[in-house]
Amino acid sequence: MDGNGRWADKHGKTRQFGHEQGSSNVYDIFLSCVELDINTATFFAMSSENMNRPREETEFISILLDNSIKKHLPDLLDNQIKFKVIGDISHLPENIKKTIEHAETVTSMFTRYKLNIAYNYGGQWDILNSIKTLLDNKLEISNENLSKYLSTGSDFPDLIVRTGGYKRLSNFMLWQAAYSELIFLNTLWPEFSSKDVSNILNNYKLIKRKFGKVD
């Protein structure tokens, strides 16, 4: 979800305002995905590296996360959406951790729709965590086991979309992205709309995915 800062700048507003606009877009975009039969989506709110931004900004985004969960928990329950935060949330204040844990627990029985927020998430962190779990449990270090113990389980993204004009993964799902289709848009995240979701999906449907094989 890149481009909140530049969007704010363009409109003569503060970065905080940009993040507010960006966070208010998340649930609506998820619903657009569901309408088009995309049942799982992960929104990259903060990378491990983004946590080195000024404290006011990271704190502000953690409060936005808390507020967004509280605001949308009734919708998650009504629409039977499983909610999860992936990333290292150990440093967050206890009240925010409680909000996250509560939302995860009360939606944990849902299986059809999954909304993940990546917060203080890094693909490298995810891979290391999985390897540590395998070692701690004396499990074989295999492709299958490593995948299984990632924060996403063995759910790999078919498609990764980055808004905001840069063409890089910025430490997002490095293992899981092995065969994902990558889409980079100049659109700034607060301007990203349901129309973009449907355009992307129409283009995606034209792609022949071969996973390294021949036809």
Catalytic residues: 2, 50
* Burial environment of residue 123 by CB neighbours within 10 A (0 to 12, 13 to 18, 19 or more): buried
Binds ligand FPP by CB under 6 A, chosen from 29, 33, 41, 45:
45
Taking CB under 6 A as the criterion, which residues in 172-201 touch ligand FPP? Answer: 189
Taking the complex as a whole, the smallest distance from the CB of residue 15 to ligand FPP amounts, in Å, to 6
Taking the complex as a whole, the smallest distance from the CB of residue 143 to ligand FPP amounts, in Å, to 31
**Could you report how far apart the first and last alpha carbons of the chain are, in Å?**
34
Binds ligand FPP by CB under 6 A, chosen from 48, 68, 99, 107:
68
Q: What's the rounded Cα separation, in Å, for the pair 2 and 11?
A: 16
Query: In the complex with ligand FPP, which residue's Cβ is closer, 19 or 114?
Result: 19
Taking the complex as a whole, the smallest distance from the CB of residue 27 to ligand FPP amounts, in Å, to 8
96 scored as a contact of ligand FPP (CB under 6 A): no
Q: What's the rounded Cα separation, in Å, for the pair 181 and 161?
A: 8
Contact 205, 180 (CB under 8 A): no
Question: Whose CA is closest to 121, among 74, 61, 67, 178?
Answer: 61
99 scored as a contact of ligand FPP (CB under 6 A): no
65 scored as a contact of ligand FPP (CB under 6 A): yes
Contact 157, 33 (CB under 8 A): no
Taking the complex as a whole, the smallest distance from the CB of residue 208 to ligand FPP amounts, in Å, to 32
Q: How far is CA 98 from the centre of its chain?
A: 20
Residues of this chain that bind ligand FPP (CB under 6 A): 1-6, 19, 22-23, 26, 45-46, 50, 61, 64-65, 68, 117, 164, 189
